[in-house]
Structure 1
């Protein structure tokens, strides 16, 4: 088995980002297997600056030759592949929603709840939260221990990268088309309404109570990682940005917390960068964080509607954060000597 890492879904935006992170982490090409379902097998995938990986068929691949397989595929594919991977003695690290809330499957962000990874052997499947949940959780984690989170209100502004390359391409086509007087409806395949120069006030399907799968997912994932008693409410919007998602967070804590204490906690936390100068340009926006590993914190201030309340702006490269989380989990599993 060795230390080989398989990546399933390498022709998609998320899969390519995962390959990029593995290369940056010094994982040699000989220890990486590029896989794809459907029409992908037979192609080639770039790895680092000099290497090229042949893309193999995930359906026919012998996963017993790898220690870990990272799944960057839709939930319907992950649901079929992950049990097969586990049965082969490999560990599946799934980035889709397929197993996030399944009992016995740890949901892990290493900078938040690394200790949950000890339960990987129960089903040989480890789930990663959505990228937006991961960046929110990384921002919340430094405050939970010393101050005790009790309530979180998250308003998210999520990029088209969350829908993969097709969504990003649709934003590009619509933007270009509008400038040459082409109706946006002529290139509307991924999003339910025009995304160029617009904001769509929902992500994923609606549920009977009016919430969406993404909104309930953020709440459920946060409770699984922090505490089942944590009250979480999310409002999610899709914005015309290619890469980089943001969230305004309003939080309440059990213990009194000041802006200065919060900033100090953020500055001491790995993976976070505080840019909060309370002036024009004294914050970070999505375009500035593209390609960056950090989750950026800005606009930290008191929420005067709550006794122990704060609000803050959190922004990160969502493609990057999702890839970093999956790779970190995979590397930690290997370091634990599967």
Structure 2
């Protein structure tokens, strides 16, 4: 903050016109207002657009150095941009004394950039050697509040997860591709003969490795050693960093499913000693950022359709392992745009803002 300005810090939202930016502006109108000025910044092609934030229309500025004029120590810039944009511009903004919160993968592996989920390791945001705090991948964010609460109670020893990822995690390209594919296959007798969905969709798989309509695709990311994908390895590394367990055995399988919004995961967590499912439910019921929905006898368990448009992670199907008293199995869903991205960014930015309160 510069002399003569309101004591409330300013927030610059970079990438304000994207899918996550749109959700963030909605969220800012519902959370405790810790901000003075809110500055909206996007690519030059979006400059001049007027968006509503906190009930007021605000003009979008082009992403240039001039867009950050007047910002300084105590202010925060929240980047909701692709990795290459964050990598280029976040260090520029930091030179002005502005703290950066980045939601892209650009800095997640940097040991000098804390990787933060406030429900689990919010304290880590206070130490920022590079002036930057990163948020995790939206799949990691979907499960980590629940896993972190259980770790704090029982001591996590091993983690195995399978993700069921929504098309929306690939941005508008993902949702538009799924909608196109669904329109092609709607009403057709497809899915019973080998290759018929692929033939109907043709080459229009969008950002996915195979047709997603009437299908599941067990792949997300780029190929790495021994058949693992880059996305699977990223979730493994992020879980370790956030939980502070550098040697935690973690196994991940990423699967794309024909859902527009809302990631789901099956989780098998193994602990240092025997774990009781009833006690685990009590822990999850009181965990911040988690809603427990767990009564299968009444047909009550979470689905991505329930989680869409909400902020917490929804957890259910909590049960002890059939063959290991130290293991627990559960299912978790979360809105990938809200829980997985916008809420996490807003929470980290608010933590930083409150340092100067």
| TM tier, smaller | over 0.9
Residues 1:271 and 2:289 are matched in the alignment: yes
Residues 96-147 of structure 1: per-residue CA shift (max 9 Å, x gap): 1110110111110000001111212x11100000121112110111111221
Q: Which runs of structure 2 are paired with 1:275-290 in the superposition (5 Å)?
A: 275-279=293-297, 281-290=299-308
Pick from 70, 76, 83: which aligns with 1:68? 76
Instruction: State the secondary structure of the residue aligned to 2:222.
Output: coil
The match for 1:80 is: 88
Determine the C-alpha separation between the residues in 2 that align with 1:185 and 1:61: 46
In structure 1, the residue matched to 2:350 is 331
1:9 maps onto 2:15 in alignment: yes
TM-score, with structure 2 as normaliser: 0.89
**What's 2:332 paired with?**
314
Q: Distance in 2 between matches of 1:269 and 1:229?
A: 25
The structure having more radius of gyration, on CA atoms, is 2
Map 1:199-218 onto structure 2 (within 5 A): 199-218=216-235
Separation in structure 2 between the aligned mates of residue 126 and residue 307 of structure 1, nearest angstrom? 38
- Give secondary structure in 2 for the equivalent of 1:153: strand
Write the distance in 2 (CA, Å) between the matches of 1:327 and 1:65.
21
Q: How many residues align?
A: 336
- The correspondence for 2:276, drawn from 255, 258, 266, is 258
Among 130, 140, 160, which residue is 1:133 paired with? 140
Q: Select between 17-26 and 88-97 the one with higher mean Cα deviation.
A: 17-26
Counterpart contact for 1:29–1:53, Cα < 8 Å:
no
Report the alpha carbon displacement of residue 22 of structure 1 after superposing the two structures with TM. Answer: 1.3
- Give yes or no for contact 2:9–2:36 (8 Å, CA) kept in 1: no
Which has the higher mean CA deviation after the structures are superposed, 181-190 or 203-212? 181-190
On the 8 A contact 2:153/2:283 being kept in 1, the answer is: no
Runs of 4+ that moved beyond 4 A: none
> How far apart in 2 are the matches of 1:300 and 1:64?
51
What's the RMSD between the two structures over aligned residues? 1.9
Counterparts of 1:169 and 1:47 in 2: how far apart (Å)? 26
Q: Kindly state the Cα deviation for residue 26 of structure 1 after the two structures are TM-superposed.
A: 4.8
Supply the distance in 2 between the matched residues of 1:84 and 1:306 (Cα, whole angstroms): 51
Using the size of structure 1 for normalisation, the TM-score is: 0.94
Deviation digits for residues 197-246 of structure 1 (CA, Å, limit 9, x no counterpart): 21111111111221111100111011111111211111011111111110
Choose 26-35 or 38-47, whichever is displaced more: 26-35
Aligned residue among 238, 243, 246 for 1:221:
238
Contact 1:90 1:124 in 2 (8 A): yes
Take 2:227 and 2:113, find their aligned partners in 1: how far apart are those partners? 28
In structure 1, stretches of 5+ residues that fail to align are: none
- Show the counterpart of 1:150: 157
Distance 1:296 1:41, change over 3 A: same
8 Å contact kept, 2:146–2:290: yes
Cα distance per residue 1:10-63 (max 9 Å; x no partner) = 221111111111121254996211111252222232335x43221111124343
Is residue 122–residue 351 contact of structure 2 (8 Å, CA) maintained in 1? Answer: no
Q: Distance in 2 between matches of 1:146 and 1:195?
A: 39
Q: Aligned to 1:92, what secondary structure does the other structure show? A: strand
How far did residue 255 of structure 1 move? 2.0
List gaps (5 residues or longer) in structure 2: 2-7, 189-198
Instruction: Identify which of 214, 228, 239 aligns with 1:197.
Output: 214
